A and B are shown apart, each in its own frame.
Chain A
Amino acid sequence: MSVLSGKSNSYRNQLIRRARRKMKIHEYQAKELFQKYGVPIPRGKVAFNVEEAKSAAAELGTYPVVIKAQIHAGGRGKGGGVKLAKTSSEAEEVAGAILGMTLVTHQTGPEGRLVRKVLVEEGLEIEKELYLGMLPDRSTAKVTIMVSEAGGMDIEEVAASTPEKIIKVQVDPLLGFEAFQARKLAYGLNLEPDLVKLFVPMVTKLYKLFGDYDCSMVEINPLVITKDRNMLALDAKANFDDNALFRHKDILSYRDLDEEDPSEVEASKYNLNYIKMDGNIGNMVNGAGLAMATMDIIKLAGADPANFLDVGGGASEEMVENGFRIILSDPTVKGVFINIFVGILRCDILAQGVVEAAKKVDVRVPVVIRMEGTNVEKGRQILEASGMNLTVASDLTDAAQKVATIAKG
């Protein structure tokens, strides 16, 4: 059965996971945006220490309150990062326990994530939990909006086991979100007339937010119906298209560097695309496809890549220098493999750049270089004459063997 037209569930899951790789913000920040667009949220306030949490609870004026850890990962409730407090002293106690804890969820990995802030919210009497999600579908080039009556659960599991419980519409980018589509979602959720009147404007405003901010995903799970017949976003997720951040400076200010890998942050400063991995052979490649293929070659030769590093289609001396520095900041790296297909630039210029960069950053491990392109012979001569610990490889197969030798040594 399909969730998106003609596509398998795993494909849809993949879409969701891909969307989650884009710039993320915290729940309290997403709720700020929701509020700006008139999407109803519970009353609440973010707190960075126990004192602030206590006064935030007092400001709400009613108990119980809910205290929610703010980290860039899902599954916070199961991991013990979301708790109820019935009194002021309980609020203090719970906030104290959550702030500073290392929260481990299925999305953080075993090392977990340090909690540095909490959202303190009014407790609600909940009648029913729904699901609402929006994300771009690459195959149809349309934004898909999905809802389900099975809210509060892992929506990927719902899609896998009971796909008929997910109702979806696809928004034509030239027409926009139409009223009949909002109604289709509302009636698909079996909402009663008073709730349809709340849902239709809510989902319309949310789609406006999605388009205005170039979101790569917006998700409310759960969207709740309260006992007093109100409808609110109890949780809020919003991710953004990195390529569109140039037109959303306000979103950039939401970036939380504490939630990102420090070496990846450092690399992003120099426009390098770096991902840390578990092996001991650092590698530096130009172009994402060739970089992936290079990692594969390292693996096939019996070694393990320490990272993915794409210095971009061109390769300047500055990029090579920064790439070296980032790779070498990883103490597990025993050797470095540079694989550059020079394209239109010239190998002699690249070789000169590598030698200069290696001098500046004090390369302490053996380096294998394989380069290809115009003036390759001249480039190789420059590398060999440099007197540095550089091994020049003639082609990919040769390079892989030389890298494997280093890894074993």
Chain B
Amino acid sequence: MSIWVDQNTRLLVQGITGREGQFHALQCVAYGTKVVAGVTPGKGGQSVEGIPVFNTVENAVHETKANCAMIFVPPAFAADAILEAAEAGVPLIVAITEGIPVLDMMKVKTYLKSSPSRLIGPNCPGIITPGQCKVGIMPGPIHKPGPVGVVSRSGTLTYEVVHQLTRQGIGQSTCIGIGGDPVNGTNFIDCLTAFEKDSDTKAVVMVGEIGGSAEEEASEFIAKNLTKPVVGFIAGLTAPPGRRMGHAGAIISGSSGTAQAKMEAMRKAGITVVENLGKLGETCKKVF
């Protein structure tokens, strides 16, 4: 088992005819993901390396029974693409696009509250169940099937973490990047809930960063609800206060949202906190 994506996932790619969309769609195919459709308005009837392209998500779902959408649509049109996928009843929507305006995402998030669809992202690397299905832009070969669930706000930092786990011989059940934007879909607690329920996940690595209060809330949740061991890391220990570090969410001020405050909350919740990223793999080897 795993969470949210597996060998039954049938992926459609919105924005498949763009440079990035096409490249990553084919990388997913190469990993073994069943990519059943692409959607680009105006390019219906064409195909990308044998993957049929449709004008609308609704058509694509109807024709191919796709049950997951991956979005590479440019930021100006990405909110619309997410809503189109949700309206078409796609249960899992993974938005890779970076730079969607906040007010657009507020509308999307409010709409999704009354929709059964789950959104991962935006501005995220996606989700992968090693050996079964990759929906995203992460490098496939660094992953290895196994018992550890990984959830992170970051992209390349997640690769670093997964790489260290694999080098220690520790495989992963599912790895999820929830994205660094201030307004996003799936959060830490959603992922932790799913990992707790998943019988194949035996332990969890949680990777956070400065800013906001998501890590603190997740820590409280872990203390109350998780029976599985958790190793945690927070990026931004040395970030200067009040500066924006790329992710809109990564801002600290006063004592709130700092790496120290987050690490303290994690420790209180019984999470093993790693301060030096270089030692994360070793620590997991000891703890798990």
Do A and B belong to a common assembly?
Answer: yes
Other-chain residue from B104, B251, B256 in contact with A10 (beta carbon distance below 8 A): B256
Cβ-based interface call for B238 (8 A)? yes
Q: Which A residues are CB-close (under 8 A) to B102?
A: 136, 214, 216, 241, 243-244
Q: Which A residues are CB-close (under 8 A) to B138?
A: 343
Do residues B255 and A313 form an inter-chain contact, with CB atoms below 8 A?
A: no
Q: Which residue of the partner chain B has the closest CB to A345?
A: B139
Main secondary structure of the interface of A (DSSP, over half): mixed
Do residues A277 and B256 form an inter-chain contact, with CB atoms below 8 A?
A: no
Q: Which residue of the partner chain B has the closest CB to A285?
A: B156
* Among B55-63, B143-151, B207-215, B219-227, the stretch in contact with A: B207-215
Interface residues in A, total, Cβ within 8 A: 59
Interface residues on B, range: 35 or more
Q: Which B residues are CB-close (under 8 A) to A275?
A: 240, 243-245
Q: Which A residues are CB-close (under 8 A) to B239?
A: 292, 295, 308
Other-chain residue from A21, A305, A313, A397 in contact with B137 (beta carbon distance below 8 A): A313
Do residues B211 and A18 form an inter-chain contact, with CB atoms below 8 A?
A: yes
Q: Which residue of the partner chain B has the closest CB to A313?
A: B155
Q: Which B residues are CB-close (under 8 A) to A299?
A: 237-238
Do residues B256 and A8 form an inter-chain contact, with CB atoms below 8 A?
A: yes
Q: A89 vs B60: C-alpha distance in the bound complex, in angstroms?
A: 74
Please give the distance in Å from A155's CB to the nearest CB on chain B. 14
Cβ-based interface call for A249 (8 A)? no
Please give the distance in Å from B157's CB to the nearest CB on chain A. 4
Do residues B277 and A14 form an inter-chain contact, with CB atoms below 8 A?
A: no
Cβ-based interface call for A255 (8 A)? no
Please give the distance in Å from A137's CB to the nearest CB on chain B. 9
Q: Which B residues are CB-close (under 8 A) to A305?
A: 238
Q: A305 vs B236: C-alpha distance in the bound complex, in angstroms?
A: 12
Do residues A343 and B277 form an inter-chain contact, with CB atoms below 8 A?
A: no
* Among A58-66, A70-78, A138-146, the stretch in contact with B: A138-146
Cβ-based interface call for A29 (8 A)? no
Q: A409 vs B159: C-alpha distance in the bound complex, in angstroms?
A: 32
Q: A241 vs B236: C-alpha distance in the bound complex, in angstroms?
A: 23
Please give the distance in Å from B287's CB to the nearest CB on chain A. 18
Cβ-based interface call for A297 (8 A)? yes
Cβ-based interface call for B109 (8 A)? yes
Chain A CB within 10 Å, residue with most, of B180, B235, B238, B255? B238
Q: Which A residues are CB-close (under 8 A) to B76?
A: 246-247
In the complex, which residues 277-319 of chain A have their Cβ closer than 8 Å to any Cβ of chain B? 277, 285-293, 295-300, 305, 308, 310, 313
Q: Which B residues are CB-close (under 8 A) to A290?
A: 154-157, 160, 235
Cβ-based interface call for A385 (8 A)? no
Q: Which A residues are CB-close (under 8 A) to B137?
A: 313, 343-344
Cβ-based interface call for B257 (8 A)? yes
Do residues B242 and A296 form an inter-chain contact, with CB atoms below 8 A?
A: no
Q: A299 vs B259: C-alpha distance in the bound complex, in angstroms?
A: 14
Do residues A141 and B100 form an inter-chain contact, with CB atoms below 8 A?
A: no
Q: A241 vs B102: C-alpha distance in the bound complex, in angstroms?
A: 7
Given contacts A216-B102, A289-B157, A396-B277, contact A18 B236 (CB under 8 A): no
Do residues A289 and B153 form an inter-chain contact, with CB atoms below 8 A?
A: yes
Do residues A14 and B246 form an inter-chain contact, with CB atoms below 8 A?
A: no
Do residues A211 and B155 form an inter-chain contact, with CB atoms below 8 A?
A: no
Please give the distance in Å from B174's CB to the nearest CB on chain A. 19
Cβ-based interface call for B101 (8 A)? yes
Cβ-based interface call for B152 (8 A)? yes
Cβ-based interface call for B116 (8 A)? no
Please give the distance in Å from A154's CB to the nearest CB on chain B. 14
Do residues B101 and A214 form an inter-chain contact, with CB atoms below 8 A?
A: yes
Cβ-based interface call for B249 (8 A)? yes
In the complex, which residues 177-204 of chain B have their Cβ closer than 8 Å to any Cβ of chain A? 180, 182-183
Do residues A400 and B278 form an inter-chain contact, with CB atoms below 8 A?
A: yes
Question: Using a CB–CB distance below 8 Å, which chain A residues touch chain B?
Answer: 7-8, 10-11, 13-14, 17-18, 21, 136, 138-139, 141-143, 172-174, 211, 214, 216, 241, 243-244, 246-247, 273, 275, 277, 285-293, 295-300, 305, 308, 310, 313, 341-344, 372-374, 395-397, 400
Given A288-B154, A396-B278, 8 more pairs with CB closer than 8 A: A138-B249, A173-B107, A247-B76, A273-B245, A289-B209, A292-B210, A296-B275, A344-B23
7 residue pairs of the A-B complex, CB under 8 angstroms, read A10-B253, A143-B106, A172-B110, A241-B103, A290-B160, A299-B238, A341-B160
- In order of increasing CB-CB distance, the 10 nearest A-B pairs are A289-B154, A288-B246, A287-B156, A289-B157, A244-B101, A396-B278, A397-B278, A138-B182, A292-B235, A10-B256
